[in-house]
Structure 1
Amino acid sequence: MRTFTKDDVLEQAQEYNVKFIRMQFTDIFGIFKNIAITVEELPKAMEGRIRFDSSVIDGMVGNREREICLHPDPASFVIFPWRPREGAVARLICDIVNPDGTAYECCCRNVLKKVVTEAEAMDLRMMVGVETEFFLFQTDDRNKPTVLTHDTAGYCDLSPVDLGENARRDMVLTLEEMGFEIGSSHHEFAPGQHEISLKTDDALSMADKLVTFRFVVRTIARRHGLHASFMPKPDNNLNGSALHIYQTLFQGLENTFYDPRNPGQLSDTARHYVGGLISHAPSFAVLTNPIVNSYKRLIPGDLSPCYVAWSTENRNTIIRVPANRAEETRVELRNPDPACNPYLVLAVLLKSGLAGVKAKVQPSRPVSDNLFALSPAEYRTRDVLTMPQNLEKAVDLLKQDELIIKTIGEELTHKYITAKQMEWQRFQSHVHSWELEEYLPLF
């Protein structure tokens, strides 16, 4: 993360003719929001004196909302490249604090910062890389999104088959202008599906990048007349979209996951970290896979990352350890989807991994074959769990995990669970098109 001060922000705002600043923050579900101010209000904003109602963070309105404040992070200041240079628009990502300056208990960014501080006390630093998948859909004559893909291309196809190449190029260029380091971009398996990978960064910076990434990708897609969707499974006949999260713990400049003396050149720390993730994965599923639709992607299948196990080669386990070694040794979590709140997800991943390291949790043996291809008898002997198969079950598992609840806080957990239970109830009470197609002709 770059070093930037309040004075630096004020100077750059003046130097680049900034007129409007978007004070950006996320609610407990990871939805990016903002309050826009003019540059004349920037000195006041930098002092944390922009106030608003807590309901916008909590995701619901009750009768006990209170006043909270935006506390901007100077390091997050950036000017939007797609807006005019005269009267430019910039942004600041903000923490949420109480009027007395203490952290608001439902500030997701602060949840992650606390776990990062815990790792630092152990002389460890989490580094994260991601691959984010999304769809580009056509819009209708009222500019509303459809599920009609804009091309029929497949994995790594080129133009003219890949009709999203120009939009994806503009997304990458815009992100790079905003300080992102892009690893690669390409067309994914399904028609209209794309992937952009972000190079490794520290955990807090990566969470900031991910919420910004979704905002930028959707903005640039709109300028191309398309709708960018991060919905996990937007169509029955298309592959789902994933958020693959690559994790490493560094001690100074040393990758603690690498040990050339151990089998597979994986250190004990790496194995214990994997053990921690496996121990808590079903419980944090409601965070990594946060909506009803998420579980349509986790149905058991050849490529579905739904089995709570790890492998160095298998892609239907939730954890894979890629072949890279030395300073590139890392652990990949494959089940998260891009609808998640990255602050909460990275917080619980790091906390679970650290718990595994502290307790020296040994993971089960790595899986080398396709679990989906096993017979029921073979599957039972492997003692491998699957991830929860719906949102209701995921919520129940979260309620039982004290470590995850403690990590995100009891107040945030209560509000998150309440909202997810209401979401499940709305889904359950709604008559879906499948029911009409299946039953209406018969009954």
Structure 2
Amino acid sequence: MTTLADPEPGGRPDDLRRVAALTADLAAQGVHGIVLAYVDTSGVGRVKAVPTARLESAVAWGVGMSPVFDTFLADDSVVTTDVLGSPDGDLRLYPDLDHLVPLAGQPGWAWAPVDRITQEGARHPGCARTFLRRTVADAAERHGIAFKAAVEIEWAAGLDSAPAGEFVPAASGPAYGAVRQVELSDYTADLLAALAAQGVDVDQIHPEYAPGQFEVSVGALDPVAAADRSVLVRQTIRAVARRHRLRVSFAPAYLPEGVGNGGHLHLSCWREGVNLHAGGDGRYGMTAEAESFVAGLLAHLPGLTAVTAPSPASYLRLQPSQWAGVFTAWGRETREAAVRIVTGTTGRHHEDANLEVKPVDLAANPYLALGCVIAAGLDGVASARPLPDEITGDPARYGPGEAAALGVRRLPRSLPQAVEEFRADEVLREALGPVLADAVTAVRLGEAAAVEGLGPVQVAAAYRWVY
């Protein structure tokens, strides 16, 4: 389980007691440096690194980094809010020792996620990981609900020898095809070995639909650990690919047309070890609270899209009839609905039942995405919001009148539209707090302005190798 306590200047006592032994063990394994990793508001992974010998100092006093990165865009330009975007100030990055792991794909290095606090020792209001930790802790305190979560990871494997900036698929086989698996079997076998060495339990790995595309599904953890794992797995996929002379893209649309890369979220609510999505009196075994959680999620999906689909390239992917879930609808195993209810197979309902949120891609900061999804669902629980009727098939078939009667609404078609919905969603903005909510708005509008006037080909190219 993830430590939910905030870092402390001078170090948390438990961390200080074990860091010396941990440092010695890492050094004995040939680890020379520690990657300190976090994800910015635009969804870009940012890092600092320290020599292994400096880990104890980092645990006690943190590592400095400017708060300006909270308003970086994907192209490394900077936007501002009333409190963020200035060159002034400093923050301290504190590694979470519970999730520190030697990197099998990068020998000589270990990796740890960080929380960020101010130099005065207070929570940094722009820290996405801290936001998710706080959301999970509040859910337990106010509702007695805990969560299990996982993030699906899709990526495109391209040839590193391709012309600069271009994508040439590294495998030529058909979607889900045995040919593609054979063509990249050495790479994927090494990837599985690296993930296993890092303690990541993999449920499945397979070729996906788009050219050169693969997907890996990993085991569920508490939400903070699940977000950490999403970042770690992508670091590993990329590192192992480089050893095979491949280049990978997690961008939502690495090509201007087609299904693109998703980052679907799986989530289940639990109370005292009991899964609220199974064994209840509601539809498909859901309890009343699980139904209301789904209803809350559906109600806030338009505003949520600014968090879960944060890039202009996201809207090349979010198209009807491509399993992207672009309508506010739910259904059991309905892959065109924005929320898919997964009951699990007979004999596994109580362990496996969960919901899948589909309009999510890997440009999303996973800490922000999971935190906002939880906040939206809990708003439904708090108000006992009724769950609307289930849909089956493709919601794109409904005419305007029928869709309105069913409560089926098309999600935003562009990033500016998503920002409008987000600005109008008081629940999401309150959950994030004013500093982080304003950062989300400023960064999204900055991204939209950066590609204004560009067509799909140029938008896809602009983000292809950022994520």
TM-score, reference length from structure 1: 0.91
- Which amino acid in structure 1 is aligned with residue 332 of structure 2? T
- The match for 2:186 among 155, 166, 179 is 166
Distance verdict in 2 for CA 1:168–1:65, change over 3 Å: farther
Task: Name the amino acid aligned to 2:449.
Answer: Q
Structure 1 stretch displaced more, 188-197 or 53-62: 53-62
Question: Could you say which residue in structure 2 is the equivalent of 1:11?
Answer: 21
| Residue deviations 1:136-194 (CA, integer Å, cap 9, x gap) | 1123367x452211122234322466422322222222112111111110011222110
SS in 1 for 2:159: strand
- In the alignment, is the contact (CA less than 8 A) between 1:9 and 1:77 conserved in 2? no
Partner deviation per Cα, 1:329-359 (whole Å, 9 max, x = no partner): 2111111011110000000011111111111
Structure 1 residue 203 corresponds to structure 2 residue 213: no
Higher strand share: 1
- State yes or no: 1:42 paired with 2:55: yes
What's the counterpart of residue 343 of structure 1? 367
- Partner residue in 2 for 1:140: 161
Aligned to 2:382: 358
Q: CA deviation at 1:23?
A: 2.0
Question: Aligned residue for 1:110?
Answer: 130
Rounded to whole Å, the distance in 2 between the matches of 1:374 and 1:431 is: 29
Quick one: distance in 2 between partners of 1:141 and 1:297?
A: 23
> Where do 1:286-297 residues align within 5 Å?
286-297=306-317
Amino acid at match of 1:137: G
Q: Is the 8 A contact 1:153 1:190 kept in 2?
A: no
Structure 2: distance between partners of 1:202 and 1:49:
24
Q: How does 1:356-395 map to 2 (within 5 A)?
A: 356-376=380-400, 378-395=402-419
Name 1:67's counterpart in structure 2.
90
The one-letter code of the counterpart of 1:289 is A
List aligned pairs for 1:178-257, cutoff 5 A: 178-257=198-277
Task: Tell me the SS of whatever aligns to 2:258.
Answer: coil
2:463 is aligned to none
2:293/2:380 contact within 8 Å kept: yes
Instruction: Report the more deviating stretch, 406-415 or 75-84.
Output: 75-84
Cα-Cα RMSD: 2.2
* Contact 1:302–1:370 under 8 Å retained in 2: no
Q: Which residue of 2 aligns with 1:76?
A: 99
Could you tell me how far 1:75 is from its partner in structure 2? 0.6
Indicate if the aligned counterparts of 1:311 and 1:368 stay in contact, CA closer than 8 A.
yes
Q: Give the Cα separation in 2 of the matches to 1:275 and 1:262.
A: 13
**What is the aligned residue count?**
431
Is 253-262 or 157-166 further displaced after alignment? 157-166
Q: Secondary structure at the match of 1:386?
A: coil
Q: Which range moves more in the overlay, 227-236 or 103-112? A: 227-236
- Structure 1 vs Structure 2: percent identity of aligned residues? 23
Aligned 8 A contact 1:130 1:245 in 2: yes
Letter in 2 for 1:81: A
Decide which moves more: 282-291 or 407-416: 407-416
- d(CA) in 2 for partners of 1:364, 1:37: 51
Tell me which of 295, 299, 302 is aligned to 1:275: 295
Say if 1:343 and 1:398 are closer, same or farther in 2 by CA, change over 3 A. same
Deviations 1:224-250 (A, max 9, x none): 111111111222443222112111111
Residue type of the partner of 1:247?
L
SS of structure 1 residue aligned to 2:124: coil
* Letter in structure 1 aligned against 2:52: V
Partner SS for 1:200: coil
Retained in 2: the 8 A contact 1:155–1:188? Answer: yes
User: Using a 3 Å threshold, how does the CA distance of structure 1 residues 6 and 58 change in structure 2: closer, same or farther?
Assistant: farther
For residue 432 of structure 2, what is the aligned residue in structure 1?
Answer: 408
Answer 1 or 2: higher relative contact order, Cα 8 Å, separation at least 6: 2
Distance in 2 separating the partners of 1:356 and 1:433: 39
Tell me, which stretches of 5 or more residues in structure 2 are unaligned?
4-13, 73-77, 80-84, 460-467
- Cα distance 1:64–1:8, how it changes in 2: closer, same or farther (>3 A)? same
Partners of 2:104 and 2:197 within 8 A in 1: yes
Aligned to 1:441: none
The Cα offsets for residues 8-30 of structure 1, whole Å up to 9 and x where unpaired, read as 33313212243222222222223
Distance 2:165 2:367 in 1: 27
**Match for residue 341 of structure 2?**
321
Q: Deviations over 1:26-70 (max 9, x none)?
A: 222232222222233222111124223211343237445311111
The alpha carbon displacement at 1:314 in A equals 2.2
